[in-house]
Structure 1
Amino acid sequence: MTKKNLVYVWSLRNAAADKAGQPVAYKDHERYMTSVLEFLVGALNDTPLGQAYDLVGVVYDDDQHNQRDQALVADYGFACEPGRQWLYPADLRVQGKRVNDLLLSVPSTYRRLPRGSAEHIAGKQDFERRLHDTLVELKADIVVLDGLLVILDELVRPGAPFARRIMNIHPGITRGESPYERRGAYATWNALYGARGEAVVDWATRETRPCEPLYLTGASFHYVDNGIDSGEVLHDVLKTQISPDDTILELRWNNFNNSLFPALREGLALLAQRAD
């Protein structure tokens, strides 16, 4: 088996919202919130996935000069600093390398510009060019997105160099035919409202309508296309029970551990088999 170079791409602000790398309130006690990256590192160190993939880069898109990003990662900052909370243990190592040494910033600075403006569109194209160049420099074979809060365009268009080489791990079922479908940034919230018999029709106001309760959610490992979690699903897992009185972090913890982590590990294993 020839090892594939794996690059992991995320938004720190998404992991910060999950309280990654720290204990969170869970019913009458606390549980450690393992980030997806920390789980992936463990899988590469301790399972056969490490024979299939070499983690060569960890890219984040957060913009240090964006005031909103500064506020969203205020508890963590934009890099691991001595004595400060971070998204995973400061000494975390993957396949003998310090994870902190693999961190690379490719900021999506276009988000500061008015949406839909010519400058915004040009800035988005520039971001994707910089991300493309970083992936080429890292000699990436496979790219895993986790909580990247931007939609890719040119990078994943049919015929582009990284088309069908970029995968997303999503905390919800993305198959359109599934009654448990939960796409988009509010997937976990949608699942929680759904277990309470409510469907959100307007996220700005949290206006809801009644719906049939669903008490399960899961995760999907899918190819990235130009849509919102609409790419072909390689593997998904539907094993997360929802209680209507769960908090969002309790459900997030449950879904990570029961569905998302298995979907990532098993999906990467399937991808390696296909490559061979």
Structure 2
Amino acid sequence: MTKKNLVYVWSLRNAAADKAGQPVAYKDHERYMMSVLESLAGALNDTPLGEAYNLVGVVYDDDEQNPRDQQLVHDYGFAYKPGRQWLYPADLRVQGRLVNDLLLSVPSTYRRLPRGSAEHIAGKQDFERRLHDTLVELKADIVVLDGLLVILDELVRPGAPFAGRIMNIHPGITRIESPYERRGAYATWNALYGARGQTVVDWATKETRPSEPLYLTGASFHYVDNGIDSGEVFHDVLKTEIAPDDTILELRWNNFNNSLFPALHEGLALLAQKG
């Protein structure tokens, strides 16, 4: 089997919100919050997944000049510094290389501009061009998005060079026909409210309406299109039980370990078999 070049794309600010690389409170003790990247590195090192893929780059879109990004990654910074908290162990290696040596910055600077303005639109196009050029330079065969807090347009349009080669790992079931469907940035919160018999109808006000409680959630590995978690599902896992008194980080920990990590690892294995 010829190995495929795999590129991982994320937003540091999303991983920071999960307290990645830190011990977090879990009921009456603490548990280590492993990042998705750390889990992927372990799978590439220790399972047959490493025979199918080479991780050739880890791209992040965070903007060091954006005050909001600075605030969101305050505990971590934009790169590892000795003695400072980081999103995974500083000495983490994948397939013999330091993960820190694979980090590449492609900042989505357009987010500083007024949404919908001509400058914002042009800036978004420029960001996608720079991301495209980086993927080409890395000779990417498959791209995995994890917590990338921007929606791609040009890169995933039908006929684009990377269309059908960009996948997303999402902490929720994205099949629209599933009663457990949880798309978008609030997927984990929606699942937690759902276990409490509530559906949020307005996230700005947190207004809810009663609903039938659902005590499961999962994760989806799906193709990326121009919508919000609306691409065709390639593989999903629904194995995360929810207790109504879970905190958001307790549920994130459970969902990562019971559904999201398996969905990513199994999905990549199935994708390699597909050829």
Q: Give structure 1 regions of 4+ aligned residues with deviation exceeding 3 angstroms.
A: none
Alpha-carbon shift at residue 227 of structure 1 (Å): 0.4
Q: Secondary structure at the match of 2:7?
A: strand
Match of 1:264 in 2: 264
Task: Determine the C-alpha separation between the residues in 1 that align with 2:210 and 2:115.
Answer: 33
Once the two structures are superposed, what CA deviation does each residue of 1:132-184 show, in whole Å capped at 9, x if it has no partner? Answer: 00000000000000000000000000000000000000000000000000000
Q: Secondary structure at the match of 2:258?
A: helix
Task: Determine the C-alpha separation between the residues in 2 that align with 1:205 and 1:131.
Answer: 35
Once the two structures are superposed, what CA deviation does each residue of 1:42-85 show, in whole Å capped at 9, x if it has no partner? Answer: 00000000000000000000000000000000000000000000
Task: Determine the C-alpha separation between the residues in 2 that align with 1:207 and 1:84.
Answer: 39
Match of 2:59 in 1: 59
Once the two structures are superposed, what CA deviation does each residue of 1:202-242 show, in whole Å capped at 9, x if it has no partner? Answer: 11111111111000000000000000000000000000000
Alpha-carbon shift at residue 117 of structure 1 (Å): 0.3
Match of 1:8 in 2: 8
Task: Determine the C-alpha separation between the residues in 2 that align with 1:53 and 1:11.
Answer: 22
Once the two structures are superposed, what CA deviation does each residue of 1:104-142 show, in whole Å capped at 9, x if it has no partner? Answer: 000000000000000000000000000000000000000
Task: Determine the C-alpha separation between the residues in 2 that align with 1:138 and 1:103.
Answer: 12
Task: Determine the C-alpha separation between the residues in 1 that align with 2:123 and 2:30.
Answer: 42
Q: Secondary structure at the match of 1:209?
A: strand
Once the two structures are superposed, what CA deviation does each residue of 1:30-53 show, in whole Å capped at 9, x if it has no partner? Answer: 000000000000000000000000
Q: What TM-score results when the alignment is normalised by the length of structure 1?
A: 0.99
Alpha-carbon shift at residue 97 of structure 1 (Å): 0.4
Task: Determine the C-alpha separation between the residues in 1 that align with 2:241 and 2:191.
Answer: 10
Task: Determine the C-alpha separation between the residues in 1 that align with 2:256 and 2:22.
Answer: 14
Q: What TM-score results when the alignment is normalised by the length of structure 2?
A: 0.99
Alpha-carbon shift at residue 92 of structure 1 (Å): 0.4
Alpha-carbon shift at residue 269 of structure 1 (Å): 0.3
Alpha-carbon shift at residue 198 of structure 1 (Å): 0.5
Percent of pairs with identical residues:
91
Q: Secondary structure at the match of 2:132?
A: helix
Task: Determine the C-alpha separation between the residues in 2 that align with 1:204 and 1:64.
Answer: 27
Q: Secondary structure at the match of 2:128?
A: helix
Equivalent residue pairs, number: 274
Alpha-carbon shift at residue 264 of structure 1 (Å): 0.3
Task: Determine the C-alpha separation between the residues in 2 that align with 1:207 and 1:82.
Answer: 44
Alpha-carbon shift at residue 249 of structure 1 (Å): 0.1
Q: Secondary structure at the match of 1:134?
A: helix
Alpha-carbon shift at residue 255 of structure 1 (Å): 0.1
